[in-house]
Structure formats: structure tokens, C-alpha cells
Amino acid sequence: MDFFDFHHHHLGQFGIYNLDLFSDDNPEIFSVGLHPKDITNDFESALDWAKSRAQEPNCLAIGECGLDALVEVDSALQEELFTQQILLANKLQKPIIIHCVRRHQDLLKFQKIAKIPLIVHGFNKKESIATNLLNAGFYLSFGKSLLENLSLQSVFKECPNHRFFLETDAAEINISEIYDKASSIKAMSTSEMQQLIKQNLNLILNNE
């Protein structure tokens, strides 16, 4: 069985490839959205492009999109565009892959308008933030930080088995390394971990 990479930027890799803005690549499966860093004055045409590619059957999820306190884009505009993408995801019944930097507390109010699963990708925050998100119904996706960050490893250990994914994002590492670390933390075999991720994927795609 393969190692499903929940969120990545490596064209050709197995998993959900995140399309670059205005790309016409046609990966086997992908996510598409407007990243906060890509919001410019011409956000309308970027959003139109994302909306049109989001209709394609190979598009499994909307994103990455969300809130980023470190980019110089007005936070009200970020929130408005995040809301529009949640409404799009509701309409298409596709989950959302969330990019969030230092705005995790603010994510909670967006959960209330979402009728689809919300997955916070690249999660590497402390236990209390994880608990708040998990209690609100979010899923968490863990990447490279899991390999070395001991406190994140304990967050991952406590994360319910039906609420997480594994990813490489932009890192130049092999996804199997993250599966190996995750399996050992959860005291599972690699194939049990692969099976679990597959089940979790089915959960969010069927919106159960």
C-alpha cells in the first residue's frame, strides 16, 4: 500500500497536490484555493480561477486557504476570502485544507459556517491549541515537525486516531519517514497507519 501524502507541493507524488496559483497542471488529485500570501489587488480573478478548477472531479479539497498573521494582507480581506472559500466548499461538498499562522483562535468562528470537514495542515502548535481545535471538530495534519519536535510528538500521541493526516507540504523529505515516526508514536505498524489514514480520508470525503 502506498503512503498517502495529505498535502504536498511535489508534482507526481501520491496524495493531494496543492495547485500553484493560476497553474494549468492536471495532477491525478489536487486541492485548489487562494492562499493568504497570494491575495493581491487582483484577488477576484484568482478566486474565479480557483472556483472554476474546484469543480473538476480530480479536485478533492479546497485550499490551502485560511488566515496568516505574518503576511501583509489586510486581515478583514483574508477573513472575507476565507469565508467565500468555505461557502464554495459547502456548495461543492469538498473538505477544506487550512493554512493558519498565529490565528488559530480565530479559526473557531469559521467552523460555525462550515458544513464540510476542516483540516488544519502543518499543525505544530501546543497541546491547548490542538485540544481547542479538536473539540471544535477540526482535523489536524502533521508534517516534518513531527520528526523532531518532542512536544508535538506528545500532542500527536493524544490526537484521536480518526482525526489526523500526514503530509510533507513543501519539505524535501520522504513521506515514509513521517509515517515511520507516526507509527512508532502511536505504537502501530506502518501498514496499520496506512490503513488508518485511508479510513480518515474516506471519512472526510464522505463528510461523515
- Catalog residues that contact Zn ion under the rule CB under 5 A: 169
Q: Which residue is nearest to Zn ion (CB)?
A: 169
Q: How far is the CB of 122 from Zn ion (least distance, A)?
A: 7
The grid coordinates listed for 101 are 499562522
Q: How far is the CB of 63 from Zn ion (least distance, A)?
A: 9
* Closer CB to Zn ion, 20 or 158, in the complex: 20
Q: How far is the CB of 100 from Zn ion (least distance, A)?
A: 12
Residue type, 45: S
Q: How far is the CB of 203 from Zn ion (least distance, A)?
A: 22
Spatial strand order in the sheet of 5-8: 5-8, 15-18, 30-32, 59-68, 96-101, 118-120, 139-142, 164-166
* Closer CB to Zn ion, 9 or 186, in the complex: 9
Residue 68 β-bridge partners: 101
* Closer CB to Zn ion, 29 or 188, in the complex: 29
Q: How far is the CB of 121 from Zn ion (least distance, A)?
A: 6
Check: CB of residue 98 under 8 Å from CB of residue 132: no
* Closer CB to Zn ion, 5 or 169, in the complex: 169
* Closer CB to Zn ion, 34 or 183, in the complex: 34
Instruction: Give residues with Cβ within 8 angstroms of 19, minimum separation 6.
Output: 25, 27, 30, 31, 32, 53
The grid coordinates listed for 201 are 480520508
d(CA 57, CA 47): 18
